Structure 1
Amino acid sequence: MSFPKIGYQISLLLCLSVYLFSCAGRKSESPSFAVLEDANYTALEVWEKFKDQALERNGLFNAGITPHIWWMKLELKPTDKAEDRHYLKLHNPHINKLEVYLSGSEHPQWVMGDNLPFDQRPYWDRDLIIPLILKDGESISMLLRVDKAGETLMVEPQLMSESRFLEKNKLETLFMGLIIGWMGVIFIAACFYAWKLRERSAIIYALYIVSLTVWLGSHWGLGFQYLWPNSINWVDKSRPTFNLLTNALFLFLMLSFFPPLKKNSKLTYGIYVFIAIHVYLIIDLFIRPLANIPMESKMVFLRLIIVFSIFLTFLIILYLVRQIRAGVPYAGYYLAGIFVLIGFNVLIQLHQSGISLGMTSFVFDFGSSIGMLGETVFITVAFASRAANYKREKELLDLQLAQQEKGKAERLIQVQEEERNRIARDLHDSIGGMLSSIYLKASQIEENAAEPKLTRELKEMVSRSIEEARSISHNLTPLHLEEQGLGKTLKNQIDLIGKQHHLKINFTFDVGHRLEPATSLIVYRICGELLQNITKHARASEVMVSLNSDTSGLEIIVEDDGKGMNPDSSKNGIGLRNIRERVSYLKGNLHIDSNPSGTTVIITIPLPELPK
């Protein structure tokens, strides 16, 4: 499947950012060290054991899931002759307890770690930092007692001058800020999708982003530094809690965005079982103090979690592959995001296994974060694509509904016109014929009547009735509108009204656009209704009717010198109501300006771009 351009652009930007951050600055010195399992040794005993031992290790020390406390001896020499102040960084912010001994000392210089308040650290940073003064030509021997018993232990000592340390910290802070900012943008987008699409999966995605962001902050050590610096018991619980919550929300998100293809599917049941296990573990973490869990149980649990994660990843991939094979849209986006996350996790595992990949520690410190970032890019693109598709479908549906409504309105107008034509024919053929017969009879009576004055009055009344019937008939149905066109038909109607009501009507018609028959008929009705209102209510002596068209549409102006009216109080009148409805149907605008000296009505109607 083809991904939108935005997916490629964001992915390229992500890779470029990772490369620039990971390659920025010169590499710092990784000091040599030796390690020793603790067997209740004192610091003096450890100094003695390391006395003649060569420091052959360098780089990453990975003890895996270990039941032991470990001792490390390091020989530290300045990395920059121009600077005395240096910093030792361990690249592991989650050591339970770290004791630092200098130059053969029996008592620790500093004690720090997750099991101690944050403000006990000699340097306030998300990672464990040891500040040192190293002058040119000098060296310092250091012992570290690293307590991570029952958990995974990995440290990668790195000695940096102050300028290099501040530069590296600045870059890492900037990168973390970019990731958190990106998560904030995605959260807002997810809330927008939830609001616009009324979709449950968008709400779950917003919650997933919140949980993921908090987990990243906890994983980086920012949670302990800024959110819970004195909550020692919560420090150890925060990472597994939000990790489990993030996984559970992702599974809910996947099932919501891609509903199961079959009911009672074993694969779907398996995913729900994993969700239930996640929820159970979260509740257990809240209820049970970690101090009450035996170390052996912790180690077994961590090993099971590895197998658990591999099997869960397999289930997710299998579920998404089935969705793709079934032709479900956007499943490929989720699968691509999962593979990005897996790719970075593989890099981390290779690095932790001791395989040199020629990359700096930055990629491995933030590998999980980068993988999560890549995953959210593809998931967000999936939501954006679905939103765009929904928008297109909605626009198409709105267009179809508008066409249906227009068709109904046109059929209604056609029925009305047919009824008007029938009534007009009845008036002309029946009432008109009867009145003409009465007029002839009155003429015959007048010739033989003793009182011709009465018969003349009767003839005049019948004559006016004939004219009124003819006028009503013409108003009901415009004769020869399609053959003669709107301009000539209106001119005939206006001449008839002017003659009948003794009105001076100035008429101008400058419409260069070819109007559709339905539009011409409605415009004719609007003008007729306006003139009828003038003859009935305005008491005017002169009227101006003007129809003009330009590129913006059709403009109708009807102005009289009558007594005026209050447009607001007349909104419910049948005449104005009919005019407003017809103008609204044509998507036009109606403006009425009235005062005691007369009334001006201006109507503008948009017209399609037709050749003149």
Structure 2
Amino acid sequence: MKFLFPLMLLLFACTGSMAQNSDLDVHVSFYSSSSALSLEDVKALPQDSFQIAEDRKTEQGFSNQHHWVKLYLGNPQLNDFEGFMELGRPVTDNIEVYQADNPKPIWRGGDRIPFEERSKAHRLNVFPLELGPESHQSYLIHFKSDGETLDLQPKIYSEEAFYQRQYSEQLFLGLFYGMLFLSAIIYLFFYSGLKEKTFLFYGIYVLSVALLQGSLDGFSYQYFFPSGSKFGSQIILLSGVFTNFFLLLYSASFLKVRDILPPIYNLFRFFFIAIPLVGVLIYLSDTTLYWSYYLTNINGLLSLILILISVVYIHFKVQRVDSFFLTGIFFLVMGLLAFVLNNLSMLPNNFWIQNSAKFGIALEVIFLSLSMTNLIGKLREEKERSQEEALQKSEDISAMKTYFMSNISHELRTPINAILGIATEQLERDLGAEEMENYRIVRSASFNLLSNVNDILDFEQIEKGQLELDQSSVFDPLQVFTDVTDSWGFEARKKGLSFDCVMVDELPEKLQGDEKRFRQILNNLISNAVKFTAHGSVRLTVHCSDQGEQCRIRMNLSDTGIGMSEAELSQIFESFNQMKLNNKRRYGGLGLGLTIVQHLVKLFGAKIDVDSEPGMGTNVKLDLRLAHVKEAEKPISQEAVDLDFDISSFDLRAYQGEIPDSTKIRVLVAEDNVMNQMILKRLLATIPNLELEIANDGLLALQQMSDKAFDIILMDLQMPNMDGYEATAAIRSGALGEAYQKIPIIAVTADATMSTQKRALQTGMDSFMTKPVRKEQLVQKIHELTGKMRVAS
């Protein structure tokens, strides 16, 4: 607003010296005819056939007649008069000026003659005048248009007044058109960025206004259509049609008439059809061209009335309309109303009326631009709100996805745990060859299924950037190699392949690092070698060297499989690569194995190289370093878990009995799944000096701990009544007494997600194991934690 008033004062100041200024005696009379007359015929007309021009009689409105004007100019001064005479309007088609008995015009004007033929290169129809002292001159002037508004009154300017007018007018028009083009460009840029159609309609509307006013001022003729073509003379009608059409489109879009007032929007639709039809009438015939001038202005008036009705109704009945939009439309209506009424000869033809549209449009553009600024603010707020909603939805979906993955991990691993447990137990017995083969098939298939489940969960964590290594665990690398190669060696031999695993160097008994991820890398690489080899062999060679605090393991895995081309080799670490290679599920698998391997290799700080040739097989080299065993630190609880219940409401009491001094290890298993209970019983049944008791949920586990002494707890996480987190939090809080506050707790769960592991350790559990558990690892962990506990005691 601080720029508005200075701008408007400048516009008005530019108009201060635009009035006519001459001291000549001027007498004007005119004659109108619907048919063309020759110069001799006009001269032969009786004097009383010409009407004396008074007031607004020279304003003919929309006219396609022939008009003849007799002009008398007298100079009563003692000095020469030099100046200019302006005839008609810039859009007048033809003007011919005759003098005395000369049968040819001494000057021609109008936009239907080439611009270069004008006596003065100017957008206005300007005729130079020279009159000696106390002299006079008479002219006969012929006007003809195809329907434009016409004013027969000549305008006389002294030379000084004319040039002064040009200076002021140039500043006025420069500001006016500059403002229009700047507004149009800005809002078209806004449309390109925001894709909001309101900005597009408004930008085109402002450009159409500039074209319409440029046609009325003669700029279109001077710069774009200087040849005097018929199309150039009719550009004012086309620009009027475009202006009217896009003003309606912009108003309907800004006010959201289609959504708020469907019945009134039907009227908008009527004009969306009627206005282009008027544009068609321009080119049908001279008669339709003449009437199109009326129809264009009538459409403009009715459109303004429709916009006003919509604005008023919406403002008072539905919702408040932006105040800047209301003000802008008011000025536009007032300016265009005066302009149209002047065209219809209902208002006098002076400077203020003739340029009323410019003043109205200038004010309208300023205020509508302010309203568009408010619209931008609203769009920004809506966008921010939608982004917040989208972010919230994304977070909700991510949380639901995490919950789903946690559940699916638990639900899939639970039966796999039972299958692997039974198969492993049976393989330890003295069975016949056929039974042993069947159980090996069951165990191998279970491992494959478990591998796929792990890949799905890990891929989801990789996408979220949450996959991390557990570097605190200790494992036997030889056992890992044995487990994996036994499983895949069995699969290879089923396919008729030769499978060899060669340990060139002796491996350490214990290494520190993420056993699960190390096993996963090895499993995925060997599974690919076996899967993509139909004939020949698969060979794994392992080298090991001691490098101070680390052990360097170099593996070379070669096969005689199908191999890969350079193009295929460049894509092997991409997810779902089999689908991209279109092998039609020939080799099976999810297509995630090598993607996960690459990510895990980066986390280990290792290196992997793959060489391959089509039909010649593939060679994979893996160089990996693992730390020698250090004293593992017990995870420190980082945050407490809020209980959803009052622990005092349960019948719990601190254990009052003595903890027997015995070599036996008393294990409490908190597990609700009957199959998992059975598997744990079978896995631990053969372990000497180990006693096992079962609790069906966390609450029952706490109650059993109140009555009996235990050395360690195997805690499931997802249980009814009280889950593993709540039970652990109750134990660590001292609800069962100081004797149990530091009892070792191992999380044994089918949920293998990293977030679950972190939560379990933060709750106060000492270790985390995922189902299906390996017997050796579980027994080792039980002895390790109970041994430390007894030493501490």
Normalising by the residue count of structure 1, what TM-score does the alignment of the two structures yield? Answer: 0.58
> Which of 313, 325, 330 pairs up with 1:322?
313
Q: Name the counterpart of 1:16.
A: 9
**1:272–1:54 CA distance, 2 compared to 1 (3 A):** closer
Distance, in Å, in 2 between the alignment partners of 1:93 and 1:123 is 13
Alignment of structure 1 residues 355-366 onto 2, 5 Å: 361-366=350-355
Q: Percent identity?
A: 20
Whether the 8 Å CA contact 2:311–2:321 is kept in 1: the answer is: no
User: Within the alignment, does 1:241 sit opposite 2:238 as a pair?
Assistant: yes
1:174-231 CA-partner distances (Å, limit 9, x unpaired): 2221112111221232023224433121122222222222222112111111111115
Amino acid of the structure 2 residue aligned with 1:372: I
Distance, in Å, in 1 between the alignment partners of 2:346 and 2:280 is 38
1:4-47 CA-partner distances (Å, limit 9, x unpaired): x46xx52x345423421222366424833111124654435545
Whether the 8 Å CA contact 1:150–1:298 is kept in 2: the answer is: yes
Q: Name the counterpart of 1:170.
A: 167
Q: Name the counterpart of 1:43.
A: 39
Amino acid of the structure 2 residue aligned with 1:366: N
Whether the 8 Å CA contact 1:44–1:104 is kept in 2: the answer is: no
- CA deviation after TM superposition for structure 1 residue 406, in Å: 11
Distance, in Å, in 2 between the alignment partners of 1:406 and 1:266 is 42
Q: Name the counterpart of 1:372.
A: 361
Whether the 8 Å CA contact 2:60–2:345 is kept in 1: the answer is: no
> Which of 374, 378, 382 pairs up with 1:385?
374
- CA deviation after TM superposition for structure 1 residue 125, in Å: 1.1
Amino acid of the structure 1 residue aligned with 2:302: F
Whether the 8 Å CA contact 1:93–1:220 is kept in 2: the answer is: yes
Q: Name the counterpart of 1:232.
A: 229
Q: Which moved more, 1:393-402 or 1:250-259?
A: 393-402
User: Within the alignment, does 1:218 sit opposite 2:215 as a pair?
Assistant: yes
Normalising by the residue count of structure 2, what TM-score does the alignment of the two structures yield? Answer: 0.46
1:381-436 CA-partner distances (Å, limit 9, x unpaired): 11101112333555677789999999999xx9xxxxxxxxxx9xxxxxxxxxxxxx
SS state of the match for residue 15, structure 2? helix
Distance, in Å, in 2 between the alignment partners of 1:279 and 1:385 is 31
> Which of 27, 30, 34 pairs up with 2:29?
34
**1:349–1:211 CA distance, 2 compared to 1 (3 A):** closer
Whether the 8 Å CA contact 1:93–1:221 is kept in 2: the answer is: yes
Note the residue ranges of structure 1 that are not aligned, 5 or more in a row.
413-422, 424-466, 480-577, 579-612
**1:50–1:201 CA distance, 2 compared to 1 (3 A):** same
Q: Which has the higher contact order (CA 8 A, sep 6+)?
A: 1
Q: Which moved more, 1:204-213 or 1:71-80?
A: 71-80
Distance, in Å, in 2 between the alignment partners of 1:405 and 1:65 is 63
Q: Which has the larger radius of gyration?
A: 2
Whether the 8 Å CA contact 1:59–1:156 is kept in 2: the answer is: no
1:51-81 CA-partner distances (Å, limit 9, x unpaired): 6879553677212334531111122245987
> Which of 286, 290, 295 pairs up with 1:293?
286
Distance, in Å, in 2 between the alignment partners of 1:331 and 1:19 is 27
- CA deviation after TM superposition for structure 1 residue 115, in Å: 2.1
> Which of 251, 268, 274 pairs up with 2:248?
251
Distance, in Å, in 2 between the alignment partners of 1:197 and 1:172 is 37
**1:80–1:21 CA distance, 2 compared to 1 (3 A):** farther
Whether the 8 Å CA contact 1:83–1:162 is kept in 2: the answer is: no
**1:128–1:137 CA distance, 2 compared to 1 (3 A):** same
Distance, in Å, in 2 between the alignment partners of 1:180 and 1:81 is 42
- CA deviation after TM superposition for structure 1 residue 158, in Å: 1.2
Amino acid of the structure 2 residue aligned with 1:223: S
The structure carrying a bigger helix percent of its residues is 1
Q: Name the counterpart of 1:101.
A: 98
Amino acid of the structure 2 residue aligned with 1:370: F
- CA deviation after TM superposition for structure 1 residue 468, in Å: 4.4
**1:80–1:122 CA distance, 2 compared to 1 (3 A):** farther
**Superposition CA RMSD, Å:** 4.2
Alignment of structure 1 residues 593-608 onto 2, 5 Å: none
Distance, in Å, in 1 between the alignment partners of 2:296 and 2:93 is 20
Whether the 8 Å CA contact 2:123–2:217 is kept in 1: the answer is: yes
**1:137–1:322 CA distance, 2 compared to 1 (3 A):** same
Distance, in Å, in 1 between the alignment partners of 2:332 and 2:77 is 37
Amino acid of the structure 2 residue aligned with 1:216: Q
Distance, in Å, in 2 between the alignment partners of 1:322 and 1:45 is 59
Distance, in Å, in 2 between the alignment partners of 1:203 and 1:239 is 22
**1:351–1:396 CA distance, 2 compared to 1 (3 A):** closer
Note the residue ranges of structure 2 that are not aligned, 5 or more in a row.
403-469, 471-629, 641-757, 759-793
Whether the 8 Å CA contact 1:92–1:155 is kept in 2: the answer is: no
